[in-house]
Amino acid sequence: MQFLRHLLLFIPAVLLSSTVVAAPPDGWSLYDDFSDRTINAEFWDGKQSFNHYWIDPPVGEYQDWSSYELLRMVVPNPIGGEKPRGLSADGTLDLVNRTHGVMSGDGVGATRTRLGLALQDRSEVVGVGGRIGFNDVDVVSCYGRDSARLRIITGFYNINSSSVPGDLTGEVMAWIGLRKRASFTAEGMRVDAVVFECGDPDCQTVEWSDGVVFPFASAKEYVDVTMEWDESSASFIFTYNGAEVSISSVHNERYAPQSSMWVQAAVDLSVCPSEPAQGYIDGKVDEIYIKYSGG
């Protein structure tokens, strides 16, 4: 009996120690694994960042017409009931965004919400990535283009000479993450990577954009994604579970740290004429990686 008691105590220790912990790719550093019970203010801007507005082009008038539900927390259990990575309750960043759109007879405008955290230290950072996934997602709309996304997004450089604070005109930005459009018939969320240049101070229009499409990811599983600016080739390099794709930039500018780098749960909905659109995503961020200049 004494032997059996020792054996039973030994088995859980083996199971916990054998749990696989993802490591950053070569040349990258772990920024945060969200093991703290609260958001680490040394790593992140702790404010919730979201824009919830109705746009009436071309005026761009902001009106709070529709409802939203936003949640951000560090939770003790990783995605999909995955075994804990150690004796301590290591967590994940939980980003949940539920947005209800606007109903209008003319069907003009959009409702867009953003929930996330901004990296505090952006100096000399040329790449951002992480281990992300989702528990659930749903988009119902009168237009197939409407979407819910869990993404990592950042500005890499700006070709605009404006000195106005917050003016994003000419900002060259990129994002990689999970996207679910209302028109998608496949299960899960598609892994997308996009590069674009902002065409106005609020980045509601774009001057140019390009993107690549990776396979679909299933619920309750993590994927590893990264993106970086490679100045030598004037291109953006994206990876999904190790597979690499590059997108050439139309500009060959010297890299300089620019606007905030965000981890976001985003929902974009059209204004529908007969019934409000709805978007929902329950996203999980297990780890965030960064790559420094010269790394």
List the domains of the chain with CATH numbers. 2-292 (2.60.120)
Query: Which DSSP helix (H) or strand (E) runs through 258?
Result: none
pLDDT, position 182: 96
Structure tokens at 279: 């978007």
Structure tokens at 134: 């989702």
List all residues 6 or more positions away from 23 whose beta carbon is below 8 Å from its beta carbon. 30
Q: Give the C-alpha separation, 134 to 293, whole Å.
A: 31
| Residue numbers of the chain with a pLDDT score lower than 70 | 1-22, 46-90, 105-107, 161, 252-259, 295
Query: Which DSSP helix (H) or strand (E) runs through 3?
Result: helix 2-17
**What pLDDT digit, counting tens, does each position of 69-118 carry?**
544 445 444 444 433 332 234 478 888 888 888 777 666 777 888 888 88
Q: Give the C-alpha separation, 56 to 115, whole Å.
A: 22
Q: Give the C-alpha separation, 227 to 238, whole Å.
A: 4
Structure tokens at 284: 């999980």
Q: Give the C-alpha separation, 290 to 77, whole Å.
A: 24
Structure tokens at 190: 């598609």
pLDDT, position 128: 94
pLDDT, position 186: 93
Does residue 58 have a cis bond before it (omega within 30 degrees)?
yes
Structure tokens at 21: 């912990």
Structure tokens at 148: 């819910």
Residues 131 and 284 sit within 8 Å (Cβ to Cβ): no
**What pLDDT digit, counting tens, does each position of 183-215 carry?**
999 999 999 999 999 888 878 788 889 999 999
pTM of the model: 0.81
For a pLDDT cut of 70, what percent of the chain falls above it?
Answer: 72
Nearest to 245 by CA among 230, 263, 258: 230
